Chains A and B, each alone.
Chain A
């Protein structure tokens, strides 16, 4: 990874060439620097325009309009829409189901992020030890990630079937009581987490494997000469070198887990319980099933603020760590 960064910095702007000048020599009537900069800015905006139009239309405008909606009693059916101040917010803040749903999403993020980092790391380390049939390992660990959420939901609904599912077959084979995986309160979200880990661990595995293969073998050779065994090498070379990629994986993973909706919605098949309903689904249900668009908007913004707080904290921590190092 560091090699790639070094290469990239080599193709940066050439310090000897000022704007408006080319290597073949100055133009007959060179424009002033300000004109050139303005022209450059215009071109940049022109290139950005198609994106900006879509961004304003589909991100900025809904964001602003949503704030307005959250202050009204707008119904999906077109009725309502009168200004009711912060009533939606005060209702949401005292809505136990909303807090439970936010709690579910946070709990899901915790119970998926930790194993998704740990398992991916262990899998990558094992594959990187030079097991025979590398391609087979890489393929089989990564393959589930290529499946659509609908497909994995179907697969796991059958595995978790309380009467004929494979999961309970295994439990009874080792002499344990069968569980109604998706139908028992508090177990249901863990079941969804298990399916999610199986589904997405391959992506993190691949990131780790790439990072592992980027560590120069030179360092291991030097360490070996100094008498470091495999465990010492793991803790003194490999894990420290994987620090940056672990940071990236953690951030990606947290964002993905906080967005939980597809597999939870599909696996519960319209029978979400209070212990399995993620906040995004509650927003969807309030708006599109319950028709309360104003209320759904208010919940979205409460969740938005919470994520913002998480993001800012993360940024501060990362920046402080960078300064420390």
Chain B
């Protein structure tokens, strides 16, 4: 009988061999067959992720000649770091999703390749199929760098039952649209009387992004502009700036809204039907419907003059590839056009489809409450254009740092406006770190 001898060497040798095999098998492509693989990075998780996967599956089954393979990464600063590094290396995925507001910061670094509008025209996608604000946000220096899938504005969700009891609905069952701040506060107090807790759920504390969303909506309602010329000085309206902060403070009084509401608590409060109105992004809509809230949705009322809706878009971009495969590029155009044309399902996730033929489709009009805020597409305001602005940027975090104290304490509005001005001027004086010497611009 031979004895199986296990000694240290054989174990080491066996281990090495196994590790080698594992490493080799890691090299083999996951996708078998002749279909070309198109790598697609995006940042949509949760309900959004499931909805997008449905769209991707549809594209894949319609086109057996290629296979779109999505990689989902957590959104925020780390996503943009990974994407820019992929672009910097020149071996980026074929397709990626970015927020439109971040695109201007990426273009000068050569991290993105421009889309060829002519190729899109052949597929039925051009400037006439997008609303003006959306299309403008896609063009940088006269070139098309992003193609928007949606617009996801910051809106008001409302609980139809609670608001009805508080007399805050009109005859069509829609939320009333008060036209000045005090009228709005009064309406919220009425609702608070019904819920016994708060009238409005708005989480902002310690959250620059949330503060910026409401702030910029209301600032733009004043008809005020905010422009960030590179190397220059910020142009803004400090009075409108201070007025908005004062209004935001007046909401967080413990009756209208929680004094120290965080975004999580605001979501939980509205989902538990303990408030009547929720200032939030459209992406919260499906979760509220799932929670059984009788939910309506509308633009935030024009409290300071005109309508304006803070928004951003999930947009398709071509991360820079040094040697793009022409066939794969062609497929990528097909994928984007197909995704746009099937984005009715995307509307179910709350977003306003950017592709106008979808919005004009009668099927979209039947989607409630999505269709109720579709008109927001005409009033969208995106972040002021600069390399340092945009969703998930340091800019929104800094904004929260600068104005947070004033919103909570109810004093120092003018100082906050000045602090913001000096912060932005400092940033404007700095070169875009994606291209510090302007080599690629």
Contacts and interface: CB of A to CB of B under 8 A. Distances in A.
B397 A271 contact: yes
A163 B261 contact: yes
B111 interface: yes
Contacts of B109: 75, 77, 79
Nearest to A271: B206
Given A161-B265, A270-B397, A273-B401, A76 B84 contact: yes
Given A289-B77, A291-B84, A163 B437 contact: no
Interface in A39-80: 73, 75-80
A161 B436 CA distance: 40
B296 to A, nearest CB: 25
Interface stretch (A19-27, A177-185, A215-223, A255-263): A177-185
A169 interface: no
Interface string B107-129: 00111000000000000000000
B215 to A, nearest CB: 15
Contact of B400 (A164, A271, A291): A271
Interface string B404-435: 11001000000000000000000000000111
Interface residues on A, range: 20 to 34
A271 B397 CA distance: 6
A230 interface: no
Interface in B251-272: 258, 260-262, 264-265, 268
Contact of A80 (B87, B111, B268, B437): B437
Nearest to B198: A163
B260 A75 contact: no
B405 A79 contact: no
Contacts of B405: 185
Contacts of A161: 262, 264-265
B436 A80 contact: yes
B397 A183 contact: no
A182 B207 CA distance: 11
Interface string A156-172: 00000111100000000
Nearest to A291: B433
Nearest to B78: A288
A180 B84 contact: no
B267 to A, nearest CB: 12
B439 A79 contact: yes
Contact of A77 (B76, B87, B208): B87
Contacts of B435: 75, 77, 79-80
Contacts of B205: 162, 180, 183
Interface in B265-319: 265, 268
A185 B109 CA distance: 35
Nearest to A163: B265
A274 B397 CA distance: 11
Interface of A: 73, 75-80, 82, 161-164, 178, 180, 182-183, 185, 268, 270-274, 285, 288-292
16 contacts: A73-B437, A76-B81, A77-B111, A79-B434, A161-B265, A163-B258, A163-B260, A163-B261, A163-B262, A180-B408, A268-B206, A270-B77, A270-B392, A271-B206, A271-B400, A291-B433
